[in-house]
Amino acid sequence: MAETRQVWRLAKRPVGDIRDGDLVFRDEPLPELQEGQFLLKVGYLSLDPTNRIWMSDMEQYMPPVELGAPMRGGVVGRVVASRKPGYEPGMLVAGFSEWASHIVTDGTGMGPFPEIPGLSVAQLFGTLAAVGPTAYFGLLDIGQPKPGETLVVSAAAGGVGQIVGQIGKLKGCKVIGIAGGADKCRYITQELGFDHAIDYKSQDVGAELDRIAPEGVDINFEQVGGKIMSAVLDRMKVFGRVPLCGMISGYNATDGEEEPGRWTMLLMRRLTIRGFIVSDFADRFPEAYQALIGWMLEGKVKTRQDVRPGLDKADEHVKLLYSGGNFGKLLVQVADI
């Protein structure tokens, strides 16, 4: 059994982009297992845009990570020793925990994770925790898609976006994805079946929307904010819906400026805009898991993971999210499990 573990701790709150020294990587002794605890060997760490929010002390939906504390993150791993009934060695367990190689825990925020023949741990973890439920509830509950409607999704080749577009197709929508670069645009149309892609890095988003969706937009699944959001909002139909999922273009901003309000237009078009955090739907996660696993096994929803080796490089890997360097749900492979 391991006697030490490797862990990332938050040393400084980043200003702007995450920089060397904001996080520190350490070898630490493993605490002795107490009654009611188990030891988890981490297999994969999920890196998510919200990590940058947790590193800051801006207003947010859960407490920021405290300075000096282990960096918070989603993990999946295998129990290697246990003094907690129901958590036997060999079991897969996932949940909110720490950027670490091993975790001694009483299981708060964690739970057993399924093993499904035909789906790898990376595929399943990279879909269910928690980009898949985000796409599922954001689109179906808030977006309310109907056959024939036009759905636009930004950050379309990423963890959430790729799933939103495919569920939109299953619901009979015309799906337009906005992504950065030709490879991502080719992927979402040719591999995932989106109707159109707009490469915001080389095309004018507004002009492209006018060309491919002259009818206007019923649902804008918003993940980016800024100019891309403005271009889509300008083209919303009356009674359009906006699941407000993320605003990644502003996560590293230092000017603290918010998007300008456009209240008169929102009123005239009677738009419904609802911000949401996937945990708002936690009591219905089993419904999303069942649907997503079913679609994956039937080949109706494909999910792509971008798996990077090495916990020791996690501080570099996480930066990929804010530059578009990831292609699919970003995971770190910490160990073979």
Question: Which of residues 74 and 107 has its CB atom nearest to ligand NAP in the complex?
Answer: 74
Smallest distance, ligand NAP to C-beta of residue 48, A:
5
Smallest distance, ligand NAP to C-beta of residue 19, A:
17
Footprint of ligand NAP on residues 208-237 (CB under 6 A)? 223-224, 228
The Cα–Cα gap between 253 and 78 comes to 37
Question: Which of residues 179 and 311 has its CB atom nearest to ligand NAP in the complex?
Answer: 179
Smallest distance, ligand NAP to C-beta of residue 53, A:
8
Q: Which two tokens stand for residue 296?
A: 């994956």
Footprint of ligand NAP on residues 133-172 (CB under 6 A)? 134, 155, 157-161
Q: Which two tokens stand for residue 211?
A: 């060309």
Among the candidate windows 13-21, 139-147, 179-187, 262-270, which touches ligand NAP by CB under 6 A? 179-187
- Of the candidates 157, 166, 164, 168, which has an alpha carbon nearest to the alpha carbon of residue 329? 157
Q: Which two tokens stand for residue 57?
A: 């002390």
Q: Is 94 exposed, middle or buried (0-12, 13-18, 19+ CB in 10 A)?
A: buried
- Which of 100, 121, 176, 321 binds ligand NAP (CB under 6 A)? It is 321
Question: Which of residues 212 and 277 has its CB atom nearest to ligand NAP in the complex?
Answer: 277
N residues, the chain: 337
Identify whether the C-beta of residue 90 lies closer than 8 Å to the C-beta of residue 337.
no
Among the candidate windows 98-106, 240-248, 259-267, 286-294, which touches ligand NAP by CB under 6 A? 240-248
x-marked contacts with ligand NAP along 5-44 as a string, rule CB under 6 A: ----------------------------------------
x-marked contacts with ligand NAP along 252-291 as a string, rule CB under 6 A: ------------------------xxx-------------
Q: Which two tokens stand for residue 172?
A: 């009979």
Helix (H, G, I), strand (E, B) or coil at 91: coil
Smallest distance, ligand NAP to C-beta of residue 102, A:
25
DSSP string, 128-174: HTTHHHHHHHIIIIII---TT-EEEEESTTSHHHHHHHHHHHHTT-E
- Torsions phi, psi for 306 (to 5 deg): -110, 95
- Which of 70, 95, 180, 240 binds ligand NAP (CB under 6 A)? It is 180
Footprint of ligand NAP on residues 43-62 (CB under 6 A)? 48-50
Task: Find tokens 């791993």 and name the residue.
Answer: 77
- Which of 175, 248, 293, 334 binds ligand NAP (CB under 6 A)? It is 248
Question: Which of residues 301 and 330 has its CB atom nearest to ligand NAP in the complex?
Answer: 330
Q: What DSSP state is assigned to residue 70?
A: B
Smallest distance, ligand NAP to C-beta of residue 166, A:
13
**Binding status of residue 74 toward ligand NAP by CB under 6 A:** no
- Torsions phi, psi for 137 (to 5 deg): -75, -40
Amino acid at 266: L
Footprint of ligand NAP on residues 108-137 (CB under 6 A)? 131, 134
Pairing of strands 236-244, 272-275: parallel
Question: Is the bond leading into 291 cis (omega within 30 degrees of zero)?
Answer: no
Q: How many residues bind ligand NAP (CB under 6 A)?
A: 31
- Which of 78, 184, 235, 317 binds ligand NAP (CB under 6 A)? It is 184
Residues linked to residue 158 through DSSP beta bridges, in sequence order:
none
The Cα–Cα gap between 237 and 234 comes to 9
Residues linked to residue 28 through DSSP beta bridges, in sequence order:
5
- Binding stretches for ligand NAP (CB under 6 A): 48-50, 131, 134, 155, 157-161, 179-181, 184, 223-224, 228, 245-246, 248-249, 276-278, 321-322, 324, 326, 329-330
